[in-house]
Amino acid sequence: MLEGRALTVRRSTPRLWLSASWLALISLAAIFAPLVAPHDPLAQDLFAARLPPAWAEGADPAYLLGTDSLGRDVLTRIIFGARIALTVALVAGLATAIIGSTLGLLAGYLRGWVDLVISRIVDIWLAFPPVLFAILLIAVLGTGLSSIIIAIIVIDWTRFCRVVRAEALNQSAMDYVTSAKVAGRTRLSTMWREIGPNVLPTICVLLTIEMGIAVIVEAILSFVNLSISTDAPTWGGMIAEGRTSIHQAWWVLVFPLIVLFLTVLSFSQLGEGLKDRFDPVLR
């Protein structure tokens, strides 16, 4: 070919920048929550209950996104809610990825009885209804942030395990693995150094999706009141509460919902965007 291979240009797609910006904004807000939040997330003021957002009629400009039925500032609670959501996303996402991918890699590359054992466990795991599983776990562990995280890890490691196993199986059939053997590499070293980098892009994409899922799971558990104490500012909790007063105060429901939606969307887009940008092999 004439021009051929010089044409592979790295694109920094808008989806990478948009999603990264949104997540950066949310993260900053979460980290500096006490500094940036205009009010105390728990402070109730029944005289200022159900105030509409600042631009609507009858609003108090001090409450930018309005207040809920107990007079708590919606914006402040969204910002503090981000702390919980992002903690869950990060800790649960990473732990799930590490555990699931390692098991998947072992099963896919070593095969034999290791694969047999891991794959059967995954099969059994997948036969449990996940939501019921989560609720049961929380019932046993008690509510709280760490319980949510543990529940997510216990349920979702199979997602990584299955995908990474399939990918590792594919990669193991490639000649570069044989070539590593000819070079005298040990099996474990081949797994980390040769196959590892080739399943990493897949893991990254899965990881960001998993982070989004973790945010949703946390919201769902909060929604059914199984997350943290009712008082604590969580997005799911806010949505659950907003639902009861949707006709009088739509903003209590809508704003956390939008933030939740954008965050989950950004996580999944971030993964694909990162892959486009940094994976040396373009598809």
Partner 1 sequence: MFKVSGLDLALPDRVNRPLIGKAPEIQILKGLTFDISSGEVIGIVGGSGSGKSTLGRTLLRLYEPTAGTVSFEGRDITHLSEAELRPLRRRMQMVFQDPMSSLNPRRPIGAIIADPLALHGLDGISARVDRALDHVGLPNALRHRYPHELSGGQRQRVGIARAIAMEPDFILADEIVSGLDVSSQAQVLNLLENLVDELGLTLAFISHDLSVIRRLCSRVMVLYRGEIVELAPVEQIFDAPKAAYTRELLDAIPLPDPNQKNW
Partner 2 sequence: MTAFLEIENLSASLKRQRVRMLRSVSLSVAAGEVHGLVGESGAGKSMIGKAVLGILPAALAIDEGEIRLDGEDLLAMRPADRRRAIGAKAALIPQDPLTALNPSHCIGPQITGRLVDILGWDKRKADMRARELLAEVNIDDPDRVMASYPFELSGGMRQRVLIASAFAANPKLIVADEPTTALDVTVQKQILKLIREMQARHGTAMLFVTHDLGVVSKICQRLSVLYAGKVLEQATIAEFFADPKHAYSRALLAATPKYTDPGSSLVPVDSSVTDLVAAEIEAVDEGWRLAR
Give the interface with partner 1 as residue ranges (CB under 8 A): 4-5, 8, 174-176, 178-187, 193-194, 197-198, 200, 279-282
- For partner 2, the closer CB: 1 or 35: 1
Provide the 10 A C-beta neighbour count for residue 208: 25
- Residue 254: closest CA among 68, 34, 76, 80: 68
> Which of the listed partners (partner 2, partner 1, none) does 2 bind, with a CB threshold of 5 to 8 Å by partner kind?
partner 2
Provide the 10 A C-beta neighbour count for residue 47: 7
173 binds partner 2 (CB under 8 A): no
How far apart are CB 272 and partner 1 at their closest, in Å?
18
- Residue 241: closest CA among 225, 229, 260: 225
How far apart are CB 2 and partner 2 at their closest, in Å?
5
CA atoms of 264 and 3, how far apart (whole Å): 40
Q: Which span sits near partner 2 by CB under 8 A: 1-9, 68-76, 140-148, 238-246?
A: 1-9
Distances 207 to 90, 100, 107, 237, 238 between C-alpha atoms, Å: 9, 11, 19, 25, 26
How far apart are CB 203 and partner 2 at their closest, in Å?
29
Q: Are 164 and 101 in contact (CB under 8 A)?
A: yes
> Which of the listed partners (partner 1, partner 2, none) does 184 bind, with a CB threshold of 5 to 8 Å by partner kind?
partner 1
- Residue 261: closest CA among 223, 227, 212: 212
> Which of the listed partners (partner 1, partner 2, none) does 17 bind, with a CB threshold of 5 to 8 Å by partner kind?
none
Q: Could you give the count of Cα atoms lying within 13 Å of 265 in the half-sphere of its Cβ?
A: 12
Give the pair of three-digit tokens for residue 212. Answer: 């989004």
- For partner 2, the closer CB: 7 or 127: 7
Site for partner 2 in 4-63 (CB under 8 A): 4, 7
- For partner 1, the closer CB: 35 or 182: 182
How far apart are CB 170 and partner 2 at their closest, in Å?
17
DSSP state of 43: -
> Which of the listed partners (partner 2, partner 1, none) does 198 bind, with a CB threshold of 5 to 8 Å by partner kind?
partner 1
- Judged by the rule CB under 8 A, the positions of this chain that interact with partner 2 are 1-4, 7
